[in-house]
């Protein structure tokens, strides 16, 4: 004997599903998509150029104990020491970079432990060298 109840139940579920799909599609089509806001970027604007345009009080370099700055660079940007060299008897220049984030930072480190960020930016890629950064962004 043939039992029509499973087929009727399956048909009711299919009709309910079809109606739900139509209601969801109608709701999505009723609300217009929000406009996307974009901001134009200035071409070839380096962090140094941006900092130069700020009020003088904001142009002062960020300085702190070397341990604190390098800990922040490691934690916040996944930067590691790429290269360092003695600028003179009491000053070392360090270049910190991140292949993961594509960032770089140049530090001025005094033997007493004070470090100041000279410049920083984006565009670091695997295979680049510290000289690439310093060459493109000369130290003054």
pLDDT over threshold 60, residue 130: yes
Supply 65's token pair.
């104990």
| pLDDT tens figures, 58-77 | 456 688 899 999 999 999 99
Sorted by where each begins, the domain ranges of the chain are 1-31, 60-136
Q: Would you say 124 and 103 are in contact if contact means Cβ atoms under 8 Å apart?
A: yes
Cα 95 to Cα 139: distance, rounded to the nearest angstrom: 12
Alpha-helical segments (H) within the chain = 5-30, 47-52, 56-59, 66-77, 130-136
Q: How confident is the model at residue 38 (pLDDT cuts 50, 70, 90)?
A: very low
Tell whether pTM > 0.75. no
- Identify the band that residue 89 occupies on the pLDDT scale cut at 50, 70 and 90: confident
């Amino acid at each position: 004997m043939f039992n029509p109840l499973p087929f009727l139940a399956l048909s009711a579920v299919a009709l309910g599903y079809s109606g739900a799909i139509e209601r969801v599609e109608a709701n999505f089509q009723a609300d217009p998509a929000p406009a996307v806001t974009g901001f134009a970027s200035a071409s070839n604007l380096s962090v140094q150029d941006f900092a130069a345009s700020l009020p003088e009080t904001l142009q002062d370099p960020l300085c702190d104990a070397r341990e604190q700055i390098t800990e922040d660079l490691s934690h916040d940007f996944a930067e590691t020491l790429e290269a360092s060299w003695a600028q003179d008897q009491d000053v070392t220049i360090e270049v910190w970079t991140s292949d993961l984030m594509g960032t770089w930072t140049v530090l001025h480190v005094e033997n007493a432990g004070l470090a100041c960020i000279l410049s920083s930016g984006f565009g670091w890629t695997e295979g680049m060298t510290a000289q690439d950064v310093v060459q493109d962004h000369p130290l003054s």
